[in-house]
Every structure is written in structure tokens, then in C-alpha cells.
């Protein structure tokens, strides 16, 4: 076996290990994304915003200021959503890069 062939074989083994590692991460990352997206669900977010507003009013903040602060609070909560969307997209798609070996296995079947 030539040095080039050994290098190619070694690269295949490294890529196979990386691929298996990424497959193992898929479920925990999916759970994390689910947990994060559920934390900002509409119902939960609505309750959180209303509790925030209510606590401001009860602590003596005037209505106009409480409204402004609550709008800012909601805005900041919503800003966190796009940063998670790429993870959700990543986890929902089948990986597009596959090993040549996997392709050969499928062809054999």
C-alpha cells in the first residue's frame, strides 16, 4: 500500500470517527433546542410578560414606565429566538456530506 493510499485510509477513519461523534450529539442537541424553544413558547412567554408587568405595577412603577419596560423585556426575549433557529435547522436536516463507504453500502443493498 502506498503512502497516499495509507493517508486516504487514515483520513477515512478520521472522518468516520467524526461522523459517528456528530451522530451521537444529534439527540442531546435536539433536546437542548427543544428545551430552549419551549422556554419561549407563546403561552409561557405571555405569562412571563404579564407577571413582569404586574410585578412592576405592584412595586409602584407608573403604568407608562411599566409598559415601556415590559415592551423592552418582551423585545429582548424575542431577540433570542433567531440565534436558536440555525440549530433547529441543522438538527432537522439529514447531513448532506456522507462517506463514500456509506454510499457504497447503500448501492450494494
Instruction: Give per-residue burial for 59-74: e unless 16+ CB within 10 Å, then b.
Output: eebeeeebeeebeeeb
What pTM, to 2 d.p., does this model score?
A: 0.44
Range of the domain at 70: 3-108
31 versus 68: which is more confidently predicted? 68
Q: Is the dihedral of CA 18, 21, 23, 27 positive or negative?
A: negative
Contact call for residues 84 and 33 (beta carbons, < 8 A): yes
Q: Structurally, how many domains does the chain consist of?
A: 1
**Mean pLDDT of all residues in 18-25:** 86
Amino acid at each position: 500500500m502506498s503512502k497516499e493510499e495509507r493517508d486516504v485510509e487514515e483520513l477515512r477513519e478520521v472522518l468516520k470517527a467524526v461522523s459517528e461523534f456528530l451522530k451521537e450529539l444529534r439527540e442531546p442537541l435536539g433536546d437542548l433546542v427543544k428545551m430552549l424553544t419551549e422556554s419561549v413558547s407563546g403561552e409561557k412567554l405571555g405569562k412571563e410578560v404579564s407577571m413582569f408587568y404586574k410585578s412592576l405595577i405592584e412595586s409602584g412603577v407608573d403604568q407608562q414606565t411599566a409598559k415601556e419596560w415590559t415592551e423592552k423585556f418582551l423585545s429582548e426575549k424575542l431577540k433570542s429566538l433567531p440565534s436558536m433557529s440555525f440549530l433547529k435547522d441543522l438538527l432537522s436536516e439529514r447531513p448532506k456530506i456522507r462517506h463514500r463507504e456509506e454510499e457504497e453500502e447503500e448501492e450494494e443493498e
